[in-house]
Amino acid sequence: MSIIRTEQLSRRYGRRVGVDAINLEIGAGEIFGFLGPNGAGKTTTIRLLLGFLQPDAGRASIFGLDCWRQSALVKRDLGYLPGDLRLYPWMTARMALRIFGKIRGVDLSGSGGELAERFRLEMGVRVQKMSRGMRQKLGIILAMAHKPRLLVLDEPTSGLDPLMQKELARSIRELAAAGHTVFFSSHTLSEVESLCDRVAIVREGRIIADERLETLRSRARRTVELVFVDEEAAERADLPSYLQLVRRDGCRCQGELDGPTPPLVHWADDQPLADISIGPPDLGSMFHKFYQLPSEPS
C-alpha cells in the first residue's frame, strides 16, 4: 500500500500557481527526496499533504486517509518539521515533550530524551534563548520522538552544523531501515543525493522528473579527460558519438560522456592514450538543466 498518494493535486494562490496536477506515489520504507528551487511548490505540496490547505483540484491521501478531511487522523502517525520552524518561545525541550506527549497520548520523555542526547540539545533551555540550530534540533526531536510511520521534513538541515546534519542523515536512514517512510524536501542537491532512494523534481508547481536516484545517475553525464601521447594524436582522434568534445588543449581533450562507461573503456583501449580519467555522474548539471525555465539560456 502507498503511504503517500496524490492524484492531479492542484492549488492556486489567486492567479499564481502553487502546485499544478501533482501525482506522487510513495511506498513504505522509502526516503523520498522532493527537490526544487525556492518557490517551486515544495512547501505548498507539504501543506496540502498535512491538510493546512484545501486542494482546488485533485486529492491527496496518506495511509489511505484523505489529507484534507481526515487530517487529524493522518497526523497520529506522522511527524512534521516545518520549513520555517517557529516554536513557542516559552517552551523548553522538556516542556515541549510533555505537552506534545499529552496531545499524542504517548510518553515522549524517554525517546525524546534519547534524541536530545543524540542531537546534543539541552532540555531546560527556553526556545527564546536558543540559537537557530538549537531550535531546529528541537523541531527534529519533536517530529521524530513518537517514531512516526511517515516523517515529513521541509528543509531540515537549515541551521544545523555539518556534524548534526550527519546525525540527522543517520537517524533518517535508521528510520527508513525500520520500514518508516521519509519525505525529504530540499533545494540542496547534495543532501538529497546522499540520502534519498528516489527523487522528484518540482519546478513552477509541476513535477518534471520523478525517478530513482540510480536511474538518474545512469542518465547523468560524466566528465571525461583523455590525455593523448602527443598533440598530433589528440588532433587526429576520432571521438565516439557518445563522447562530446568540450575542450581541446594540446594533448588533452575534455568531453562529456552520455551513456555507460564500458563502451568508452573499450574504445580507449585502441587509442594512443597516455592517461584517461572518468568522473562520477554529474547530477549537478543535470539538475541545473531541470531547474532552468524553458525560456532561460543553458
151 binds another protein (CB under 8 A): no
**43-72 footprint of another protein as x/- string (CB under 8 A):** x---x--xxxxx----------------xx
143 binds another protein (CB under 8 A): yes
Helix (H, G, I), strand (E, B) or coil at 166: helix
> For another protein, which is the closer residue by CB, 75 or 203?
75
Contact between residue 15 and residue 32 where contact means Cβ atoms under 8 Å apart: no
88 binds another protein (CB under 8 A): yes
What distance in Å separates the CA atoms of residue 270 and residue 217, rounded to the nearest whole number?
Answer: 27
Single-letter amino acid code for the residue at 245: L
103 binds another protein (CB under 8 A): yes
135 binds another protein (CB under 8 A): no
Among 1, 38, 84, 295, binds another protein (CB under 8 A): 84
Helix (H, G, I), strand (E, B) or coil at 86: coil
What distance in Å separates the CA atoms of residue 74 and residue 52, rounded to the nearest whole number?
Answer: 12
> For another protein, which is the closer residue by CB, 42 or 198?
42
Identify the sign of the CA torsion 122, 133, 192, 65: positive
> For another protein, which is the closer residue by CB, 35 or 152?
152
- Provide the minimum distance between the beta carbon of 155 and another protein in the complex, in angstroms, as a whole number: 12
- Provide the minimum distance between the beta carbon of 39 and another protein in the complex, in angstroms, as a whole number: 10
38 binds another protein (CB under 8 A): no
Among 16, 38, 90, 270, binds another protein (CB under 8 A): 90
C-alpha cell at 7: 492524484
5 binds another protein (CB under 8 A): no
- Provide the minimum distance between the beta carbon of 111 and another protein in the complex, in angstroms, as a whole number: 16
C-alpha cell at 248: 581541446
What distance in Å separates the CA atoms of residue 76 and residue 241, rounded to the nearest whole number?
Answer: 55
Transcribe 1-56 into DSSP letters.
-EEEEEEEEEEEETTEEEEEEEEEEEETT-EEEEE--TTSSHHHHHHHHTTSS--S
Identify the sign of the CA torsion 127, 130, 132, 133: negative
> For another protein, which is the closer residue by CB, 116 or 151?
151
Among 8, 23, 57, 102, binds another protein (CB under 8 A): 102
Query: CA angle at residue 262 from 201 to 283, to 5 degrees?
Result: 20
Count of all residues that appear for the chain in the document = 298
> For another protein, which is the closer residue by CB, 150 or 243?
150
C-alpha cell at 186: 530540499
- Provide the minimum distance between the beta carbon of 10 and another protein in the complex, in angstroms, as a whole number: 13
129 binds another protein (CB under 8 A): no
98 binds another protein (CB under 8 A): yes
156 binds another protein (CB under 8 A): no
- Provide the minimum distance between the beta carbon of 170 and another protein in the complex, in angstroms, as a whole number: 23
Task: Scan for cell 505540496, then name that residue.
Answer: 45
Question: Which residues from 216-235 bind another protein, rule CB under 8 A?
Answer: none
Single-letter amino acid code for the residue at 21: A
List Cα–Cα distances, 177 to 92, 195, 196, in angstroms. Answer: 31, 12, 12
Instruction: Name the site residues for another protein (rule: CB under 8 A).
Output: 13, 43, 47, 50-54, 71-73, 75-76, 78-80, 82, 84-88, 90-91, 95, 98-105, 139, 142-143
